[in-house]
Amino acid sequence: MNRLVRYAPFLLALSVLARFVWAFATPNGMNLVDLHVYVDGSAALLRDDLYDFTYSKETPDFPLPFTYPPFAALVFFPLHYLPFSFVGVCWQIATMIALFVLIKLSIGLVVGDDVARSSRWTRIAMLWTALALWTEPVRTTLDYGQVNVFLVLGAIVAIRSSRWWLAGGLIGFIAGIKLTPAITGLYFLATKRWKAAAFSAVAFAITVAVSYLVLGNQASTYFTTLLGDADRIGPVGSVWNQSLRGAMSRIVGRDVDTGAAWMVAVLVVAVLAFLAWRALRRDDRLGTLIIVQLLGLSVSPISWSHHWVWVLPLLVWLLHGPDRHLLGTRLVAGYWLVTTVVGVPWVLSFFQESIWLVSRPGVLAWLGAVDMLGVLLVYGWTIFLGRGRISRREEGNRSREPNARPSA
């Protein structure tokens, strides 16, 4: 391990170089389909047809629409004035830098910022970044030119800030770009940061108001017609969708939609998330954030494999946190490390005849629940550890109680 830490800068440089070779030497390494949607879609604002736009050059079987809130189009709009190749390369570099920063900040939440600033921990963050570039969530984020790494970084910066207006404002802003970070509001509630929670809602409302003010009917189309339409986002049953709904749909052979079975499953996962949160140490900010984000990924109708960038802070929490020496913690971390480096959804994608078919052989359907199983492992192990801590805490409280006064 010490030798790896010593050569971390070299290994990171090698990993970045290999990533760019992959990007430019493989057919789909630089297709950046989602970045095309961001940039080309935002240009559709000039034609007043943002939500009629589709991009299909690289995805003829599924023309990709602009599925994000209208505020996102305003944020990305300036990029369409630049050469797309230049934007694409800069986007890749910025994503890699953001990945390193979010890993380093995650380490700071676990070991303390003063310790994390040391040379050794900076090199450990470099090692994680070198490996993270080849995990499926990051690999697909880079392939597609997705925004996920920036969203995760934004959430981590927000919860680290002691300023309620900055923490809440940042979450509201990034939720205006993509709705998924809004789940971070639960973190503020769980940690009793009431002002930050309230201001995150206010900040998001401001992004909506700005969208209506600038875009008018295009904003109205999204918030009155398209919001919540999972079918427009993509095929729910595709193995690339690692949400609870996607896993359940593949297992039963049809889209479970948001019916009774799905709602019961959501309730079960929410209860497990609550129990896992209660089982955490009281000062475990990263653990609380991860519990919340895994819940959001689970209950969202669509959680593409590239949405699961939260696996990286999860691995940092497991392997550098206070329970890192326990065999169970290492097994849970090993499960996530193996499945994300291998890229189980990517492997299984070669066995799905079409992204639109839901039904598939049972073994493939169950293997396709890989991320949901990982969520249950995290919640279950956290609850198990918490029971022991609660028992020890109760015993300690009893031992500190004064002896009963003897009777006269």
pLDDT of 58 reads 79
The pLDDT tens digits for 331-362 are: 999 999 999 999 999 999 999 888 888 999 99
pLDDT of 402 reads 55
For residue 88, what pLDDT band results from cuts at 50, 70 and 90? very high
3-state secondary structure of 304: strand
Q: Where are the domains of the chain?
A: 230-394
For residue 404, what pLDDT band results from cuts at 50, 70 and 90? very low
pLDDT of 80 reads 92
The pLDDT tens digits for 22-79 are: 998 888 778 899 999 999 999 999 888 899 999 988 777 788 999 999 999 999 999 9
The pLDDT tens digits for 270-327 are: 999 999 999 999 899 999 999 999 999 999 999 999 999 999 999 999 999 999 999 9
What is the mean predicted confidence (pLDDT) over 394-405?
A: 54
What is each CA distance from 371 to 50, 265, 294, 317, 327, in whole angstroms? Answer: 33, 15, 10, 17, 20
Q: Within 10 A of 69 (CB to CB), how many other CB atoms are there?
A: 23
pLDDT of 394 reads 53
3-state secondary structure of 102: helix
What is the mean predicted confidence (pLDDT) over 181-199?
A: 97
The C-alpha atoms of residue 178 and residue 391 are separated, in whole angstroms, by 41
The C-alpha atoms of residue 229 and residue 192 are separated, in whole angstroms, by 32
> Tell me, what amino acid is at 350?
F
DSSP 82: S
pLDDT of 56 reads 83
Q: Which residues contact 4 (CB under 8 A, 6 or more apart)?
A: 11, 127
- Does the pLDDT of residue 405 top 50, yes or no? no
> How many Cα neighbours within 13 Å face the side chain of 108?
16
* 54 strand-pairing partners: 65
pLDDT of 398 reads 58
Q: Does residue 56 or residue 172 have the better pLDDT? A: 172
